[in-house]
Copies of this chain bind each other. A is one copy, B any other.
């Protein structure tokens, strides 16, 4: 991959290099600018809507209306041919001293002055459970240690429907949920604030091309339907979840909030970081067979920051640890004829790795609260306390130092009065 040289000063460790250029929705209320499409570059946001009006895309034909929108759905629905060309046009303009981006004022906004919004309108949100280590560890703690991985797990990417309405943007407060929990040693539930509040380090991807009901997607063509990726924290109340989840799965233990990072990194930017997945035994059924390099080498990290304190990294893991690829997830999801819409979100499930330091949630890190983790200020945590923030980060990096990152996915726990 040839390195590009933009005229803009971009910190060498920025997630938002010239090779990334993710899409998001931002506003600048004081400038009278409503929600609109932006692209992140270094510490700036390209105002794609205003740049279009200044003629940046004059050689393309599309309705600029999709750029002044509350979400990316309209833009994404134009297809990868259009969004890919928009991205390349912006990339070239950021390397071209004569471009309108350089020579017309106001087309770049400082990142710390804009407000970022949930970038997509998810009609449906699906959460998978595709990390073998996570499924094994949870099975061990929640059910039978001798049969931790259920018989279906290696045959299909287990998943469930999640709640789309409560997906919030990084930085939003997370209200500690109330719910039914059964105190240790008792048989009957009480209604109480959750005492076992947890994060889940996940990544999500956004559907970019719709499918029709009754029309499955093959593994080979699944990536045509994936627009891009983001960080995702699927906050979980383990005590609520444990009592409610049988037989129909997680519900209120998850639905109080999920946090998404603001920038959707398009798959084109992640292409250099594709890799083979793990060997799959038993071999999946034909409709799930994945011959390509459909896994991604993306470093992931979770940190906990107590109120006013320093961050402590509690997990270093990688997207490559997932057993099931996104292509397999899409193929499975549509195998029964279920239709997908642009903007639908699919998340990985907690991504844990094989090492003790690579566990993606406190349930696993603390072994269901029995081995608390020590934070930077010396305090211990079995579960999240009010005032704690959780920060997820992720980036891919090539050997020659090209970095494509996701920024932060952050949320702070607030006691609900």
Residues of A bordering B, CB below 8 Å: 123-124, 129, 139, 142-143, 150-152, 155-156, 158-166, 168, 175, 177-180, 187-191, 213-214, 216, 237, 240, 243-253, 255-257, 282, 285-287, 332-333, 335-341, 344, 416
Whether the pair A161, B255 counts as a contact (CB closer than 8 A) is yes
Chain B residue at minimum C-beta to C-beta distance from A211: B165
Interchain CA distance A257-B337 in the complex, whole Å: 8
Q: Tell me if A244 and B158 are in contact (CB < 8 A).
A: yes
Closest 7 pairs (CB-CB, A-B): A249-B249, A177-B336, A161-B161, A160-B248, A175-B214, A248-B249, A252-B336
Which residues of B are found within 8 Å of A337, using beta-carbon distances? 166, 175, 177-178, 256-257, 416
Determine the chain B residues whose CB is within 8 A of the CB of A243 once the complex forms.
152
Q: Which residues of B contact A257 (CB under 8 A)?
A: 213, 337
Task: Check A255–B158 contact: CB distance below 8 A.
Answer: no
Closest B residue, CB atoms, query A162: B161
Query: Would A338 and B163 count as touching, CB distance under 8 A?
Result: yes
Given contacts A247-B143, A248-B159, A255-B336, contact A341 B165 (CB under 8 A): yes
A216 to B335, CA, bound (A): 37
Out of B123, B143, B255, name the residue touching A164 (CB < 8 Å). B123
List B contacts of A252 (CB < 8 A): 332-333, 335-336, 338
In whole angstroms, how far apart are the Cα atoms of A161 and B163 in the complex?
A: 7
The contact of A285 among B142, B190, B341, by CB within 8 Å, is B190
A143–B247 CA distance with the chains assembled, in angstroms: 10
The reply to whether B160 and A191 contact each other, CB–CB distance below 8 Å, is no
Given contacts A124-B164, A152-B246, A155-B188, 15 further A-B contacts (CB under 8 A): A124-B165, A152-B244, A160-B161, A160-B251, A161-B251, A175-B337, A178-B287, A178-B336, A191-B285, A191-B335, A246-B247, A252-B332, A252-B335, A255-B333, A257-B337
Bound state CA distance, A240 and B178, in angstroms? 34
The 8 Å CB contact of A165, one of B129, B249, B287, B339, is B339
A285 to B158, CA, bound (A): 33
C-alpha gap A336/B237 in the complex (Å) = 10
CA distance A249 to B162 in the complex (A): 11
* Cα A123 to Cα B216 with chains together (Å): 23
CB contacts (< 8 Å) of A166 on chain B: these are: 213, 337-339
> Residues of B contacting A333 with CB < 8 Å?
252, 255
Find chain B residues with CB under 8 A from A123 CB.
123, 164-165
Contact B336 A256 (CB under 8 A): yes
Q: Give the distance in Å from the alpha carbon of A341 to the alpha carbon of B164 in the complex.
A: 10
Q: With the chains together, A377 CA to B151 CA distance in Å?
A: 41
CB of A347 to closest CB in B, whole Å: 12
Q: Report the minimal beta-carbon distance from A209 to chain B, rounded to whole angstroms.
A: 14
Q: Once the chains bind, are B124 and A336 in contact (CB under 8 Å)?
A: no
Nearest-neighbour CB distance to chain B for A2, whole angstroms, equals: 41
- Chain B residue at minimum C-beta to C-beta distance from A151: B187
A175 and B213 contact, CB distance less than 8 A: yes
- In the complex where A180-B156, A244-B158, A338-B252 touch, is A285 in contact with B189 (Cβ < 8 A)? yes
CA gap between A188 and B156 in the complex, in Å: 12
A-B contacts, 20 of them at CB < 8 A, read A123-B164, A158-B247, A159-B248, A159-B251, A160-B248, A161-B162, A161-B255, A166-B213, A178-B216, A179-B335, A189-B285, A191-B286, A191-B335, A237-B336, A245-B248, A247-B249, A248-B249, A252-B338, A255-B333, A256-B336
